[in-house]
C-alpha cells in the first residue's frame, strides 16, 4: 500500500503539524512505501514572500529529516519540480463540480482571512491536492482533521474518473489520528494551532527551550483550579493534556491522577520540560542539517527521479484513457 502526504512550506512547522501528520509518517515509513511532498504550489495560493519561499522549502525538508523521515526509505520531493502535478490537476478539474469546491471549509476560511487575494488557485486547491495523491495512486493519506474534507473530495474525484474513463484509481482513505488530529492554539483554545497565526499561539518544532517555556507558561487556561481533562468545559488545559499525553506516551487518565491536587502552574511547568526534552533532538539535527546544503539538494534530486517515474506512468495512462494520446 502506498502512502502520500504533504505540507505547505508557508513558515515554521509546529506541534500541530507534527502530532496531526508527521508523527504518523515516521511509523508508516517502516511498513509502507511512502511519498512525502513539500507542496510549494499550494503555498502560493495565499499571500507569500517570494524571497522566503526557497528558505521555507528547505526548512520544511529539514523538519521532515529532523523528525525522523528516512530519505532512504521514503521519497521526499518538491511538488513544483514535477510538472505532472499541475498537469493532472488541470485534467481532474474538468470533472470536478464547481459547487463542490465552493463548499470546502478551507476555501471559505481562507477567503475570509485573505479578502484581497481570493484567487482561482485557492478555489481549485483541493483539485491539485487530489492530483498529488492520485498521481502516486496512494491508498492512504495521513493528515490532521482539517484536511479530511479534501481527502473525501479526492475519493469522489477518483470515483468519478473511474466511472467516466474506466477503472484507474483506488479511492484513497484518510488516516486521521485518534488523538492530536486538531491541536489547538495556545492563546485561543477554540481555534486550531496555525502557522499563519500569532507565534505565541504555536510551539514551533525548532523553538528554543526558553521560548517553549514562556509560551506554555502563558498558554490560556480555564476557570477553576482542577487539573482535569474536559474538552468542552476546559478546552485550554485539555489541549495541553493532549500534547502532554502524546509526547510523554501517557493516557490523560494517568495524567489526571499524577496531577491530582496540583495546580495549572505545576502542570504547565512539567509539560514545558516534556516538550523541551522531546524537541531537543529536533533542534540538534536542525543545526547539523542546516550546514549540509549539498546533502539536502542531493536528497531532493534522488527522490525526484523516483517520484517522476511513478508520476509519468500515471499521466500516460490518464491521458490515454481521456483520449489525449
Q: Which residues are part of a known binding site for ATP?
A: 8-10, 16-17, 144-146, 183, 192-196
Q: Of these, 181, 219, 248, 275, which contacts ligand TYM (CB under 6 A)? A: 181
Cell triple for 211: 521560548
Interaction of residue 3 with ligand TYM, rule CB under 6 A: no
d(C-alpha 206, C-alpha 257), whole Å: 31
Task: Determine phi and psi for 198, rounding to 5 degrees.
Answer: -55, 130
Between residue 58 and residue 77, which ones bind ligand TYM under the rule CB under 6 A? none
Interaction of residue 21 with ligand TYM, rule CB under 6 A: yes
Q: Of these, 182, 214, 262, 319, which contacts ligand TYM (CB under 6 A)? A: 182
Interaction of residue 129 with ligand TYM, rule CB under 6 A: yes
Catalytic machinery residues: 110, 192, 195
Q: Of these, 71, 144, 189, 236, which contacts ligand TYM (CB under 6 A)? A: 144
Exposed/middle/buried for residue 210 (C-beta within 10 Å: 0-12, 13-18, 19+): exposed
Interaction of residue 179 with ligand TYM, rule CB under 6 A: no
- Residue 173, strand partner residues: 140
Stretch that binds ligand TYM, among 142-150, 158-166, 263-271, 275-283 (CB under 6 A): 142-150
Q: Of these, 67, 78, 133, 203, which contacts ligand TYM (CB under 6 A)? A: 133
d(C-alpha 227, C-alpha 241), whole Å: 9
The sheet carrying 173-175 orders its strands as 75-78, 33-38, 2-7, 140-142, 173-175
Exposed/middle/buried for residue 211 (C-beta within 10 Å: 0-12, 13-18, 19+): middle
Rule CB under 6 A: which residues touch ligand TYM?
4-8, 16-17, 19-21, 39, 42, 129, 132-133, 141, 143-144, 146-147, 150, 181-183, 192-193
Amino acid at each position: 500500500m502506498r502512502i502520500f502526504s504533504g505540507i505547505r512550506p508557508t513558515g515554521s512547522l509546529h506541534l500541530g503539524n507534527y502530532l496531526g501528520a508527521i508523527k504518523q509518517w515516521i511509523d508508516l515509513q517502516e511498513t509502507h512505501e511512502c511519498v512525502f511532498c513539500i507542496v510549494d504550489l499550494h503555498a502560493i495560493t495565499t499571500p507569500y514572500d517570494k524571497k522566503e519561499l526557497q528558505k521555507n522549502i528547505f526548512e520544511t525538508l529539514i523538519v521532515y529529516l529532523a523528525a525522523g523521515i528516512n530519505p532512504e526509505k521514503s521519497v521526499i520531493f518538491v511538488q513544483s519540480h514535477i510538472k505532472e502535478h499541475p498537469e493532472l490537476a488541470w485534467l481532474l478539474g474538468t470533472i470536478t463540480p464547481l459547487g463542490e469546491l465552493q463548499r470546502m471549509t478551507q476555501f471559505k476560511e481562507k477567503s475570509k482571512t485573505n479578502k484581497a487575494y481570493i484567487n482561482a488557485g485557492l478555489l481549485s486547491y483541493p483539485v491539485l491536492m487530489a492530483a498529488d495523491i492520485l498521481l502516486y495512486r496512494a491508498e492512504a493519506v495521513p493528515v490532521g482533521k482539517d484536511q479530511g474534507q479534501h481527502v473525501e473530495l479526492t475519493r469522489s474525484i477518483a470515483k468519478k474518473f473511474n466511472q467516466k474513463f474506466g477503472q484507474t484509481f483506488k479511492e484513497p482513505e484518510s488516516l486521521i489520528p485518534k488523538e492530536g488530529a486538531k491541536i489547538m492554539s495556545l492563546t485561543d483554545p477554540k481555534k486550531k494551532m496555525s502557522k499563519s497565526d500569532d507565534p505565541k499561539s504555536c510551539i514551533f518544532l525548532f523553538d528554543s527551550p526558553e521560548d517553549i517555556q514562556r509560551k506554555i507558561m502563558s498558554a490560556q487556561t480555564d476557570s477553576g483550579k482542577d487539573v482535569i481533562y474536559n474538552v468542552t468545559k476546559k478546552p485550554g488545559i485539555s489541549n495541553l493534556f493532549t500534547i502532554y499525553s502524546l509526547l510523554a506516551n501517557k493516557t490523560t487518565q494517568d495524567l489526571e491522577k499524577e496531577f491530582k491536587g496540583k495546580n495549572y502552574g505545576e502542570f504547565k511547568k512539567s509539560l514545558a520540560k516534556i516538550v523541551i526534552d522531546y524537541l531537543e533532538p529536533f533542534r540538534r539535527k536542525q543545526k547539523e542539517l542546516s550546514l549540509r546544503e549539498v546533502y539536502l539538494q542531493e536528497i531532493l534530486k534522488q527522490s525526484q527521479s523516483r517520484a517522476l517515474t511513478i508520476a509519468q506512468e500515471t499521466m500516460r495512462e490518464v491521458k490515454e484513457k481521456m483520449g489525449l494520446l
